[in-house]
Structure 1
Amino acid sequence: MLLQIPALLSVTEAARCRALLEQQEWQDGRLTAGHIAQHVKTNQQLPRDNVAAQQVGQLILEKLAQNPLFMSVALPLKVLPPLFNRYAGGTTYGDHIDNAIFTMPHTGDKVRSDVSTTVFLSDADAYEGGELVISDTYGEQRVKLNAGDAIVYPATSLHRVEPVTAGTRIGAFFWTQSLVASNEQRQILYDLDVAIQQVLQADAKSEAGRRLSGVYHNLLRQWSHT
């Protein structure tokens, strides 16, 4: 399931974050790539211990915690602190699938990557190319969003970032371990949650809404893993 989260950051917040990150010392993205990814990855990244990156990452985490759409679609159990990448001058990241397991900084806890998220920090008209291309059951989905918008998609998806042929593309990316590992089950729960909200908006005392809510929580209880 691919889902856009509009204005996770406001336009002003995205601009401030981008300006701060642009001043930092970027590294070759291949330093953090696995053996296979090293052959298709030519972007730049900020090291995880960069103070500015940590500040922007904390802001994103705070915004996520307040965003009902992200909570509904991701059902987060653990969220890795965001990382940041930069594309310019033809740099790209070819077809790949994200690692299944990551390590949480400082604690060493293992995190299963169920859900991938990209937050666009550069305006869509500030660069050429740079589309996030995600393969799913309906073919390739090409994503290029406004600054502050986010896209959420299964971490099991084959995806790539097209070469940026002009301008600069800066973004955040991170992974979430969901309470529900199965993408199909998360899709069912999300669709059910949307239906419940629609029913209750029409009638806050709806008996159907109450029953649907019970079904939702019983399915979540059955499918969740903590």
Structure 2
Amino acid sequence: MTPFHLIPEALSPAECDALIALCQGHEMKDAGLVRQTTAHQIRRAELSWLDDIPEASWVMDRMIRLVAEANRAAFGFDLTDFLESPQVARYGAEREGHFDWHSDIGSGQVAAKRKLTIVVQLSDPADYQGGVLELRPDSNIREVERARGTAVLFPSFVLHRVTPVTEGTRWSLTLWTHGPAFR
């Protein structure tokens, strides 16, 4: 199995701009709030959920098609649906935006069914420093391509992080596809 799969130009620069603008026009919530306690040492970002933004419905249509093609080409997982809203994250240097090592599969009815994680780079890499998405599918750490509009797909059990943003702002789109438990 491939540790991750890249899709260059999953979104155009204009589509990235449009998605960022939609999220800036809606309230973004602090991602450091976990179970009513602050966890900024783990994650410091602001989030928008696209289910709350009707004008962003086109994003799911695009992602469903891309995920189906990538899964056939690289993973062959048994996928059934998307149970969670896609989220757009803003990692700003003013807050040292980051997300420490974690996996996206976990306990709970929804997280336990996550099979593939999809992250799309919305920002131009020249607009920020740091903020590198790193994957650790084995004992090696791999940096993910930062080209604007590029999507990376990887099994949700793979450890990954976003290093601290030291200048500017990094925007990304994340969603998960679900299916029966791995066996």
TM range, normalised to the smaller chain?
Answer: 0.7 to 0.9
**2:81 is equivalent to residue 78 of structure 1:** yes
Change (3 A) 1:34 1:136: farther
96, 106, 111: which is aligned to 2:102? 96
The 5 Å alignment of 1:25-174 reads: 25-32=27-34, 39-47=41-49, 50-51=52-53, 54-56=54-56, 58-67=57-66, 69-72=69-72, 73=74, 75=77, 76-79=79-82, 80-89=84-93, 90-100=96-106, 112-137=113-138, 139-174=140-175
Percent of matched pairs sharing the same residue: 24
Q: In structure 2, how many angstroms separate the alpha carbons of the residues matched to 1:15 and 1:44?
A: 17
5+ long unaligned stretches in structure 1: 105-109, 183-226
SS where residue 139 of structure 1 aligns?
coil
Q: Which stretch of structure 1 is more off in the superposition, 59-68 or 78-87?
A: 59-68
| Higher-helix-fraction structure | 1
SS where residue 78 of structure 1 aligns?
Answer: coil
User: In the comparison of the two structures, how many residue pairs are matched?
Assistant: 174
Structure 2 CA distance for partners of 1:33 and 1:126, relative to 1, 3 Å: farther
Shift of 1:111: 6.3
CA contact (8 A) 2:42 2:100 kept: yes
Output the CA distance in 2 between the equivalents of 1:25 and 1:36: 19
User: 2:98 corresponds to which letter in structure 1?
Assistant: T
Deviation (angstroms), 1:65: 3.0
- Larger strand share, 1 or 2: 2
Q: 1:103 to 1:141 in 2, by over 3 A?
A: same
Higher relative contact order (CA 8 A, sep 6+): 2
Query: Under a length normalisation based on structure 2, what TM-score does the superposition of the two structures give?
Result: 0.80
Larger Rg over CA atoms: 1
For residues 71 and 6 of structure 1, do their structure 2 counterparts lie closer, same or farther at Cα, with a shift above 3 Å needed?
same
Report the secondary structure of 2:32's partner residue: helix
Cα 1:139/1:179, change in 2 over 3 Å: same
Mapped partners of 1:59, 1:130: distance in 2: 26
Q: Secondary structure at the match of 1:151?
A: strand
Is the 2:32–2:38 Cα contact (8 Å) retained in structure 1? no
Q: Give distance in 1, aligned partners of 2:51 and 2:64.
A: 22
Q: Which structure 2 segments of 5+ residues have no match?
A: none
